[in-house]
């Protein structure tokens, strides 16, 4: 599972742990991402022969495409079953960084509320096999992320999306990073200062509390208050360099 706002970064962190075969990418939080960029990411995955489905795990939007694919998979496995062999539920493993929506998706797929979920990372403490009302068994896993190996811009993106614990990053650095990604912002520090002033985050002498203002900017990004933002696009990565829009390819642009 990958956050639709940073599909490549969240995908790459999980890559070393996964086999290539029978993998499906779920792009979560598409309601917070730029819809045009999400479409480009889906097309980029498709061009590589990989399946990707945008799914809002909170309200289930987009889930039907996933369940249709799972129905086909269950049918394919059933056709290979030996005569007399008992039918078994389709087994799935949900895998990704913390706070990407694994437990919420598990509950949606199972039609139950068996997996704990909430708006902060780390609620899933261990791997759990979950059974629900449907012919599925889901392995809900804790977020896999070695923060010691995440640096630079990738760390800023993960922190912004709340995939890192709050003690693992400098909120002022993340706030400045996010402000620099906003359209029309040429001075991120000034933007945060004015953002804090507008919200009344003032200290002695009317000085803006920059750390508090930075935290507010980061939270505003997480809540979608800064607009639907995607922090990376397919064209940012050479692996997806051939995933241009069809009309641009035809014109040789």
Pairing of strands 2-3, 24-28: parallel
What mean pLDDT do residues 103-109 have? Answer: 86
The pLDDT value given to residue 123: 45
10 backbone φψ class: left, alpha, beta (φ>0; ψ -120 to 50): alpha
Given a cut of 80, whether residue 122 has pLDDT beyond it is no
In this prediction, residue 144 carries a pLDDT of 58
User: Exposed/middle/buried for 73, CB within 10 Å: 0-12, 13-18, 19+?
Assistant: middle
Mean pLDDT of 132-157: 76
d(Cα 53, Cα 63) in Å, to the nearest integer?
Answer: 8
Which residues are registered as beta bridge partners of 90? Answer: 136
Q: Rounded to 5 degrees, what are φ and ψ at 169?
A: -150, 165
pTM of the prediction? 0.82
Across 13-22, 38-47, 202-211, least confident range:
13-22
How much is the pLDDT for 147?
59
Residue range 217-228: mean pLDDT, rounded: 96
pLDDT, position 126:
55
Collapse the DSSP code of 234 into the 3-class scheme (helix H, G, I; strand E, B; otherwise coil) and give the result.
helix
Do 28 and 103 form a contact (C-beta atoms < 8 A)? no
Mean pLDDT of 223-227: 95
Predicted local confidence at residue 113, as pLDDT:
63
Could you give the 3-state DSSP secondary structure of residue 160?
A: helix
Q: What distance in Å separates the CA atoms of residue 201 and residue 214, rounded to the nearest whole number?
A: 10
- 93 class by beta-carbon count within 10 Å (0-12 exposed, 13-18 middle, 19+ buried): middle
Q: Does residue 50 surpass a pLDDT of 70?
A: yes
- Which of 18-22, 141-145, 214-218, 241-245 has the highest average model confidence (pLDDT)? 214-218
pLDDT for 142 equals: 65
Q: Is the pLDDT of residue 132 over 60?
A: yes
Give the pLDDT band of residue 128 (cuts 50, 70, 90): low
Query: Residues 175-180: what's their mean pLDDT?
Result: 98
Cα torsion angle, 191, 192, 198, 202, sign: negative
pLDDT at 246: 36
């Amino acid at each position: 599972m990958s956050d639709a706002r940073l599909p490549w970064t969240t995908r790459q962190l999980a890559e070393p742990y996964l086999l290539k075969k029978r993998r499906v990418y779920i792009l979560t939080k598409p309601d917070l991402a730029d819809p045009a960029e999400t479409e480009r990411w889906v097309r980029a995955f498709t061009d590589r022969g990989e399946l990707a489905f945008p799914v809002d795990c909170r309200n289930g939007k987009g889930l039907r495409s996933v369940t249709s694919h799972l129905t086909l998979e269950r049918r394919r496995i059933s056709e290979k079953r030996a005569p007399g062999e008992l039918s078994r539920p389709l087994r799935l493993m949900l895998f990704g960084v913390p706070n990407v929506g694994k437990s919420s998706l598990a509950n949606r797929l199972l039609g139950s509320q068996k997996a704990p979920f909430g708006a902060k990372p780390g609620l899933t403490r261990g791997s759990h096999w979950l059974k629900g009302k449907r012919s599925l068994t889901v392995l809900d896993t804790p977020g896999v992320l070695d923060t010691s190996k995440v640096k630079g811009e990738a760390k800023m993106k993960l922190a912004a999306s709340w995939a890192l614990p709050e003690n693992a990053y400098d909120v002022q650095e993340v706030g400045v990073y996010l402000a620099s990604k906003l359209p029309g912002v040429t001075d991120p520090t000034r933007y945060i200062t004015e953002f804090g002033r507008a919200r009344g985050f003032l200290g002695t002498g009317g000085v803006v509390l920059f750390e508090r203002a930075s935290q507010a900017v980061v939270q505003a990004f997480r809540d979608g208050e800064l607009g639907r933002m995607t922090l990376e696009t397919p064209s940012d990565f050479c692996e997806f360099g051939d995933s241009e829009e069809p009309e641009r390819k035809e014109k040789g642009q």
